[in-house]
Amino acid sequence: MTILTIKTTPYGDQKPGTSGLRKRVTVYQQPNYVENYIQAIFDSLEGFEGQTLVIGGDGRFYNDVAIQKAIRIAAANGFGKVLVGQGGLLSTPAASHVIRHYKAFGGLVLSASHNPGGPEGDFGIKYNISNGGPAPEKITDAVYARTKVIDSYKSIDAGDIDLNTIGTQTVGGMVVEVIDPVADYAALMETLFDFPAIKAMFASGFRMTFDAMSAVTGPYAHKILEEILGAPKGTVINGTPSPSFNDGHPDPNLVYCKDMHDLLMTPEGPDFGAASDGDGDRNLIIGKNRFVTPSDSLALLAANAHLAPGYKAGIAGIARSMPTSAAADRVAEKLGIEMHETPTGWKFFGNLLDAGRVTICGEESAGTGSSHVREKDGLWAVLLWLNIIAVRKQSVDQIVREHWATYGRNYYTRHDYEEVDAAIANKLVDDLRAELPKLAGRNLGDDLQVAYADDFTYHDPVDGSTSAKQGIRIGFTDGSRIVVRLSGTGTVGATLRLYLERYEAADGRHDLETQSALDSLIGVADELTGIKQRTGRQEPSVIT
């Protein structure tokens, strides 16, 4: 085999965001764009000679092209083996599991998650380390620094690998094994949940609908829900992965899953509805007549996890991203376990999970997961919900209401202003940051008093690292909170995220409509940030 060293010139924009490098497909299609980035990743790692690399993606447009390049570059750089999902597919949680299960050195996860796909859509590459989780900032910073000076990459002179046939091939001295993308993951789920109880529930007429959004979760959901657990055929909809997600937007929220939501609000609708995103790590949970906010879902799953066999000994602790509501904090308090608040993005949970300090983690952006892998996991959350419903024999609505009656309710919403001019968005955040020292103690709106106002800095209790400027938070004495931050996953302009939360005690009113419950806080947030006036937008692009 001849290893080729190919000259290249750096790109200035290969800075990984919240979850890897996400760009328009047209950006990735530039000469050597993929090659530079993958070589920069390998240049930032040590000790992978002869080791295994996992490669898989969500099946979006350009997945196949990037995987072939990645395989050649991995071979030239000295990896001993590549494990790749059949058809190039691996959901993000499945990739995390495969890395752990086969003790791989790391993995490349090719996805832009919930962003649209197709030739005009987005693509992404993320590197995961040997614990199965996204590389920490120390590595992503090194990769970015490397991309700015890279002048060559290594590849081999070899043709494409057949990704459709399960089995082993060799390319340039490196073994490439094409594996079933679903089997190992399905086996893991079976160890965590009470499959017989869920199976019995389906057999007795429980009905659900699962929208795979023409993304990667289709094959996983067909196998686990319909084949293994016996849910009727047709339970899984949009179950065939499509490179363009059938021209849809694979973001499981109330905007893109409105039809399912509306169906669940009718008497004829099924008992339970769920969906997952492009790469299968997010989840949407809707019961009959009850949408469950992701923040509430995290709290509920943590409070009830012991009902599933995999967690029957209890959970060690909970972690949530800073903008996620404090509903889970009340559960941790009651259980007397550790509670951690981390910056946005799953990479910050890895150390806590590895150290055994937390078992369940979650984000307000529809991501929940546990120590079984090091990524959030959409289908895992759905199965844990099903397990809880099967054991408690109650509806989602009853379970949620009982939770609020015990812990109180955290009314919660997120308002996104997408594709805002980056200069305007940055100035808004800078101006607000400058105001923070003056805010403490001030009275705002009708009855809100500021308890604290700061820009969130995280101190990792495990490795001692510090991550600053992780979002502005303004907390009020009654437990309400306003958080403002800029998205790190968008590919066009800036996305401003405004997170709003208000706590209503256990004996308070739990039946208000969310937006009206948060009305006065929304007004105060607009006054503080000037978001409407500065962006010229009358309303958010997306409300979740």
Q: How far is CA 110 from the centre of its chain?
A: 14
Pairing label, strands 542-543, 409-420: antiparallel
Residue 338 falls in which region: left (phi positive, over 0), alpha (psi -120 to 50) or beta: beta
Task: Give min distance, CB of 335 to ligand VG1, in A.
Answer: 24
* H-assigned helices in 103-151: 137-147
Measured from each CB, the residue nearest to ligand VG1 is: 113
Task: Give min distance, CB of 126 to ligand VG1, in A.
Answer: 8
Nearer to ligand VG1, 137 or 281 (CB): 281
Q: Which two tokens stand for residue 11?
A: 């790109």
- Strand ranges, E, within 388-528: 409-420, 443-444, 448-455, 458-459, 466-467, 472-476, 481-486, 494-504
Nearer to ligand VG1, 39 or 113 (CB): 113
Nearer to ligand VG1, 275 or 307 (CB): 275
Nearer to Co ion, 62 or 195 (CB): 62
Q: Out of Co ion, ligand VG1, none, which partner does residue 19 contact, by CB within 5 to 8 A per kind?
A: ligand VG1
Measured from each CB, the residue nearest to Co ion is: 113
Nearer to ligand VG1, 344 or 370 (CB): 344
Task: Give min distance, CB of 455 to ligand VG1, in A.
Answer: 16
- 113 belongs to the catalytic site: yes
Task: Give min distance, CB of 286 to ligand VG1, in A.
Answer: 18
Residues 273-302 that bind Co ion (CB under 5 A): 277, 279, 281-282
- Run of H or E residues at 427: helix 422-439
Between helix 378-392 and helix 195-203 the angle, nearest 10°, is 70
Q: Which two tokens stand for residue 136?
A: 């920490």
Binding part of the chain for Co ion, among 37-45, 63-71, 210-218, 272-280 by CB under 5 A, reads 272-280
d(CA 239, CA 171): 32
Nearer to Co ion, 97 or 282 (CB): 282
Q: Out of ligand VG1, Co ion, none, which partner does residue 374 contact, by CB within 5 to 8 A per kind?
A: none
CA distances from 238 to 221, 254, 543 (A): 11, 17, 24
d(CA 140, CA 8): 21
Q: Residue 113, interface with Co ion (CB under 5 A)?
A: yes
Q: Which residues lie near ligand VG1 (CB under 6 A)?
A: 18-19, 113-114, 277, 281-282, 321, 344-346, 363, 365, 367, 487-489, 497
Task: Give min distance, CB of 369 to ligand VG1, in A.
Answer: 11
The residue annotated as part of the active site, out of 19, 91, 113, 242, is 113
CB neighbours of residue 407 within 10 Å: 22
- Strand ranges, E, within 251-365: 272-276, 283-287, 290-292, 317-321, 338-342, 360-363
- Run of H or E residues at 240: none
Nearer to ligand VG1, 32 or 370 (CB): 370
Q: What is the CA radius of gyration of the chain?
A: 23
d(CA 527, CA 502): 17
Task: Give min distance, CB of 367 to ligand VG1, in A.
Answer: 6
Q: Out of Co ion, ligand VG1, none, which partner does residue 363 contact, by CB within 5 to 8 A per kind?
A: ligand VG1
Q: Out of Co ion, ligand VG1, none, which partner does residue 345 contact, by CB within 5 to 8 A per kind?
A: ligand VG1
Q: Out of Co ion, ligand VG1, none, which partner does residue 460 contact, by CB within 5 to 8 A per kind?
A: none
Between helix 378-392 and helix 183-192 the angle, nearest 10°, is 30
Q: Out of Co ion, ligand VG1, none, which partner does residue 304 contact, by CB within 5 to 8 A per kind?
A: none
d(CA 38, CA 110): 11
Residue 493 falls in which region: left (phi positive, over 0), alpha (psi -120 to 50) or beta: left
Q: Out of ligand VG1, Co ion, none, which partner does residue 63 contact, by CB within 5 to 8 A per kind?
A: none
Task: Give min distance, CB of 112 to ligand VG1, in A.
Answer: 7
Residues annotated catalytic, as ranges: 113
Which residues here bind Co ion, judged by CB under 5 A?
A: 113, 277, 279, 281-282
